[in-house]
Amino acid sequence: MKAAVLHRYDETLSSDTFVHYEDVPDPRIEKPTDVILRVGGAGVCRTDLHIVEGIWRSKVDVQLPYIMGHENAGWVEEVGPAVEGFAVGDAVICHPLVTSGHCLACRRGDDMHATDSQFPGVNANGGYADYLRTGQRSLIKLPAGLAPKDVAPYTDAGLTAYRAAKKASRHLLPGQFVTVIGAGGLGHIGIQVLAALCAAEIIAVDRSDTGLALAKECGAHHQIRADGEEVENVMALTGGRGAEAVIDFVGEGEAVAKGLAMTANAGFYYIVGYGGRIEMPTLDMITSEKTIVGNLVGTYPELVELMALADRGLVHLATREYRLKDANQALHDLHHGRIRGRAVLIP
């Protein structure tokens, strides 16, 4: 089959060619619960750029060359002998982790913390290819109205935004505020999820006109430019107390300190983006009684929930399609901020 293969890291992202479009062997069923997917679409993610940079090298165990692509949807091509409930041709979306379902985390419904998981595209071959090997437990059947290429980025970008927004929605009340920092590929989903799941007023903070316009379309009630005065402006909007929840999809540079500063006392700062650092005196954490919450993608049931929102039209994903052989173009467009929403590679 064809695949876009990563052969070497590029710490400065300066090469024109991050991945090579080439022939590789087809994946094969190895375990009785394995499934071969014909890829319908593979999302291109900032995490892929971080993988190319080598940032994830210390976190995961993977050898080059390998195939990136952790946001996958497509059709069942072949199933292992122990697979039940799926037939060849079924349109499916893949939860990013493949678990056995036996560890205590899985049993408690917290599969993101499984002790027994594989992460195709991150620690195994992924979906920048014609075919992908995954496991039965990662599959969710798609409703008839949703096409694989249109939903692929939900598996990571969408799911991560969904989980953080859902956590916030559990405590947000009418009359309260939630600030979303960064109205890009994740943020624009986060805003739509918040609008669907709670009645807090949504404040979008972004550097660009494009981002703020997208935020407004997605349901943000207020738009604030990240121009250095964003903390003061959020404070002014919220009667001086800050937002009861802040979801930071940027997570680097000044966003972190500003995000924490615009969080109300007794409020929650959800960190989703990464690259930067949290730095805060313990005294300030105590007098403010704020909570800082890490967010790691989302669970399989949460992806089912997100598909329900998408199927009802409550969440819409802005995508831009690329041919698989144009993967480098997609990665560069993402790197240079030229993509509104999410890029998807189509074999």
Which residues between 23 and 82 bind a copy of itself (CB under 8 A)? 32-33, 55, 59, 82
User: Which of 77, 79, 98, 99 touches Zn ion by CB under 5 A?
Assistant: 99
CB of 347 to a copy of itself, least distance (A): 28
User: Which of 29, 62, 91, 103 touches Zn ion by CB under 5 A?
Assistant: 103
In the numeric block, the tokens 């144009």 are attached to 326
CA distances from 333 to 106, 197, 280 (A): 37, 32, 35
Q: Is 258 in the site for a copy of itself (CB under 8 A)?
A: no
Burial level of 313, CB count in 10 A (0-12/13-18/19+)?
Answer: exposed
Q: What is the Cα–Cα distance from 266 to 63, expressed in whole angstroms?
A: 44
Find, among 179, 128, 162, 205, the residue nearest to 315 by Cα: 162
> Closer CB to a copy of itself, residue 198 or residue 345?
198
CB of 16 to Zn ion, least distance (A): 7
> Closer CB to a copy of itself, residue 295 or residue 319?
295
Q: Is 332 in the site for Zn ion (CB under 5 A)?
A: yes
Lookup: tokens for 295: 């967010």
Find, among 138, 124, 135, the residue nearest to 78 by Cα: 135
Q: Which residues, at least 6 apart from 186, have a Cβ–Cβ distance to it below 8 Å? A: 157, 158, 160, 161, 249, 272, 273
Judged by CB under 8 A, the chain residues 111 through 130 that form the site for a copy of itself are 111-113
Judged by CB under 5 A, the chain residues 7 through 66 that form the site for Zn ion are 45, 47
Phi/psi for 317 (5° steps) reads -110, 125
CB of 221 to Zn ion, least distance (A): 27
Contact 338/329 with Cβ under 8 angstroms?
no
Find, among 329, 335, 158, the residue nearest to 166 by Cα: 158
Q: What is the Cα–Cα distance from 181 to 187, expressed in whole angstroms?
A: 7
In the numeric block, the tokens 């069942």 are attached to 76
Which range in 6-14, 204-212, 293-301, 327-335 contacts a copy of itself by CB under 8 A? 293-301
> Closer CB to Zn ion, residue 44 or residue 256?
44
**From the list a copy of itself, Zn ion, none, which binds 314 (C-beta under 5 to 8 Å, kind-based)?**
a copy of itself
Query: Distance from CA of residue 117 to its chain's centroid?
Result: 18
**From the list Zn ion, a copy of itself, none, which binds 156 (C-beta under 5 to 8 Å, kind-based)?**
Zn ion
Residues binding a copy of itself: number (CB under 8 A): 72
Q: What is the Cα–Cα distance from 242 to 267, expressed in whole angstroms?
A: 9
**From the list Zn ion, a copy of itself, none, which binds 84 (C-beta under 5 to 8 Å, kind-based)?**
a copy of itself
The site map against a copy of itself for 298-337 (x = CB under 8 A) is: -xxx--xxxxxx--x-x-----------------------
| Residue 22, strand partner residues | 3
Judged by CB under 8 A, the chain residues 203 through 242 that form the site for a copy of itself are none
> Closer CB to Zn ion, residue 220 or residue 272?
272
Which amino acid, residue 63?
Q
Judged by CB under 5 A, the chain residues 262 through 321 that form the site for Zn ion are none
DSSP for 113-140, written as a single string: G-SS-B-BTTTB--SSBSEEEEEGGGEE
> Closer CB to a copy of itself, residue 242 or residue 347?
242
User: Which of 7, 8, 28, 107 touches a copy of itself by CB under 8 A?
Assistant: 107
User: Which of 97, 114, 205, 327 touches Zn ion by CB under 5 A?
Assistant: 114
**Positions in the binding site for Zn ion (CB under 5 A):** 45, 47, 99, 103, 106, 114, 116, 156, 332, 335
